[in-house]
Structure 1
Amino acid sequence: MPQRATSEPITVRTAKVSEIDALANAMDRSRNYIVNQAIEQYLEANTWQMERIKSGVAATREGKVIPADEVFAGIAAKHGWER
Structure 2
Amino acid sequence: MNASVSITTPLDPATFAMVEELAKYRGITGEEFAAEAIREAAQHHADMRAFIQAGIDSADRGELISQEEMETWFEERVAARRQG
After TM superposition, the score normalised by the length of structure 1 is: 0.78
Residue 21 of structure 2 is aligned to residue 22 of structure 1: yes
The residue that corresponds to 1:32 in the other structure is 31
The residue that corresponds to 2:49 in the other structure is 50
Identify which range, 60-69 or 44-53, moves more after superposition: 60-69
Give the Å deviation of 1:4.
Answer: 2.7
TM superposition outliers: structure 1 runs of 4+ over 3 Å: none
Q: Deviations over 1:10-52 (max 9, x none)?
A: 2222221011011112112110111011000011000000011
The residue that corresponds to 1:74 in the other structure is 73
Distance 1:10 1:71, change over 3 A: same
Among the aligned pairs, what percent are the same residue?
A: 15
How many corresponding residue pairs? Answer: 81
CA distance in 2 between counterparts of 1:39 and 1:74 reads 37
The residue that corresponds to 2:63 in the other structure is 64
Structure 2: tracts of 5 or more residues without a match: none
CA distance in 1 between counterparts of 2:35 and 2:71 reads 40
CA distance in 2 between counterparts of 1:13 and 1:68 reads 46
